[in-house]
Amino acid sequence: MFTFDWKRLSMAAGLSLTLIAAGCGSDDGNESTSGSDSEGSSGASEEVNYGEEMDYEITGIEAGAGVVGAAQTAVEEYENLAGWEVATSSSGAMATALGEAIENEEPIAVTGWTPHWKFAKYDLKYLEDPKGVFGGAEEIKTMVRQGLEDEKPNAYTLLDQFQWTAADMESVMLEINGGAEPAEAAKAWIEENQDKVSEWTNGVEDVDGTEVELVYVNWDSEIASTNVVAEVMKSKGFDVTITPLDNGPMWEAVAEGEVTGMVAAWLPATHGDLYEQHQDNLVDLGMNLEGAKVGLVVPSYMEVDSIEDLQPAE
């Protein structure tokens, strides 16, 4: 009798232990699932916190730049950018902030454009722009003052024939970013690309000190292009001055005939409002580079692909 009861008790105890173990296993499974959900939530939360980590701020360049204006419009147009701001600075400060963020693998969103050396140096991507706020492909065009063709035909012809590619521009920008003086980087590129340069100077006679002044906005791209054109003009005997200006004054200087011209007109979006304002008072010589682009740019390690993936400020 006692033995029988003991056996029953042993069986009951064994069954209880089995149930307890099963319960623990069930709890572990739930905990694992919960942990997995938590990680998933953490991943989603991480995306949400990109904005928080960036203080809901887009790092911009000069206040008058079209890409900055487009970024400010994006903040208004995209509901998910509610509470965001565009911080204006300079192209150099933007590049420095971008480099520091990438070095520390931190999130950052900048107003970007191509051609630019940063795309050759870093692994970057444009955020998709479903609303088309930043427009499509852009061209960089050459603008000169009225009367230049009659007064300085050789300068007019050379500027009219200037045309190169994004790869050409980026190679000069990379040299400058690597520490070369802009004029020296320009001379090196000219020496290696005589075939292209000869097309620009075709029919251009040598001159003796004819004065030319080119203006440009102080962007890496325009520093490169303006220095290259200036060095080519110097090789033909021109006395060339290059002057950096803000966007508005650059266009005004050409339109008012104070300077010879510029090779730094980004259209139709970036400088569109300035072109509309001054187009009747200058001469449009057409495109000198095609395939330019502007938009919001982030490091490729950020798990966002569209402006709409960013989260509103809380």
Residues 79 and 161 in one domain: no
Q: What is the pLDDT of residue 49?
A: 65
Tokens 């069930």, residue located: 26
Can you give the pLDDT at residue 63?
87
Q: Look at residue 314 and tell me if it is in a domain.
A: no
Q: How far apart are CA 274 and CA 277, in angstroms?
A: 5
* 3-state per-residue secondary structure call for 53-113: HCCCEEECCCCCCHHHHHHHHHHHHCHHHCCCEEECCCHHHHHHHHHHHHHCCCCCCEEEE
Q: Are residues 131 and 142 in the same domain?
A: no
The partner residues of 297 in beta bridges, in order of sequence, read 110, 126
What residue spans of the chain are helical by DSSP H? 2-53, 66-77, 91-103, 118-121, 148-151, 153-161, 166-177, 182-192, 194-200, 220-235, 247-255, 272-278
- Residue 122 and residue 253 in one domain: no
147 inside domain: yes
Domain count, the chain: 3
Tokens 């997995």 locate to 36
Question: Would you give the DSSP letter of residue 306?
Answer: B
Whether residue 118 is found in the same domain as residue 249: no
Same domain, yes or no: 201 and 215: yes
Percent of the chain with pLDDT over 70: 84
Indicate whether 270 belongs to any domain: yes
Are 200 and 284 members of one domain? yes
Q: What is the pLDDT of residues 276-306, one digit of tens each?
A: 999 999 999 999 999 999 999 999 999 999 9
- 304 and 269 in one domain? no
Measured distance CA(74)–CA(126) in Å, rounded = 14
Q: Do 187 and 233 fall within a single domain?
A: yes
Flag whether 187 is in a domain: yes
Residue-wise pLDDT for 86-126, tens only, equals: 999 998 899 999 999 999 999 999 999 999 999 988 999 99
Structural domain that includes position 270: 138-292
pLDDT band of residue 25 (cuts 50, 70, 90) is very low
Length reported for the chain: 314
- Same domain? For 2 and 131 the reply is no
For residues 46-66, average pLDDT: 84
Residue 21 resides in a domain: yes
